[in-house]
Amino acid sequence: MDYPVFEAVRARKSTRGFLPKPVDRTLIHNILDTARWAPSGTNTQPWLVYMIDGAARQKLSQRIQDAYQQGVPGEMEYTYSLSQWRDPYQRRRRATGFGLYNHLGIARDDKEARFQQAGRNYDFFDAPTGLFFCLEKDLGPGAWLDLGLYMQSVMLMAHDAGLATCPQQAFSSYYGIIKQALGIPEAQILVTGMAMGYEDKDAHINKFRPERDEVADFLTVVEELEPNPNKSPIKV
């Protein structure tokens, strides 16, 4: 099917190589403004966004990069995931992680090259604009759902406007440095960062596109109630 939103959802990708071309703040404001129309539970609109560009963005990257390169271990303000991965999640994340390193010619056992590539996160992959998405700490999981919807709206509109993005949870490991530098109050949690800018279409890294499992791997169509557990699920 060929509808504009279908196209945008398929074409949006996590971009990890940007041109130095700055992004007009008015354009970013327009994107954040339109994303306000994302749904949220009882219209609570819990998202809080911090934007940084220019010299301030460079200085922040330098501070985090200094800590990272000196081996200051990142720590998380919240639990993002399972401590012990299992399939199918483990299979998917390995295919993506190893897939990216293979694409870049980085051997699985080349820890230094992997460390440096992961560290590119803290330069926003050279994107001129960085966004940080926060929530008030005491809001429940519903607010995290709302924020995810807001963020995907931002990314789709950015794509529509000719921009590229990469959501970056990597930043939350250095939340202390970021919250201090940006004046983010203690009562807020830094959920994730996001690089935003113009894609460097010649960058080899941007040619990597991880696969997705099929709809049949997650959809169950229920045609009768209390389904027989021994019957295989109906797939479409």
Ligand X SMILES: Cc1cc2nc3c(=O)[nH]c(=O)nc-3n(C[C@H](O)[C@H](O)[C@H](O)COP(=O)(O)O)c2cc1C
Nearest to ligand X of 41, 119 (CB atom): 119
- Give dist(CA 86, CA 139) in Å, integer: 28
- Give dist(CA 49, CA 192) in Å, integer: 10
Count of residues engaged in binding ligand X, rule: CB under 6 A = 12
Shortest Cβ distance from residue 103 to ligand X (Å)? 12
Residues 6+ apart with CB under 8 A from 33: none
Binding mask 83-102 for ligand X (x = CB under 6 A): -------------x------
169 near ligand X (CB under 6 A) = yes
Shortest Cβ distance from residue 168 to ligand X (Å)? 4
Shortest Cβ distance from residue 224 to ligand X (Å)? 35
Shortest Cβ distance from residue 110 to ligand X (Å)? 18
188 near ligand X (CB under 6 A) = no
* Member of 68, 192, 196, 199 binding ligand X (CB under 6 A): 192
166 near ligand X (CB under 6 A) = yes
* Member of 170, 178, 189, 196 binding ligand X (CB under 6 A): 170
Q: Which tokens sit at 136?
A: 């008030």
Task: Report the site for ligand X in 26-85 (rule: CB under 6 A).
Answer: none
Nearest to ligand X of 16, 57 (CB atom): 16
Which stretches of the chain bind ligand X, using CB under 6 A? 13-14, 16, 96, 121, 166-170, 192, 210
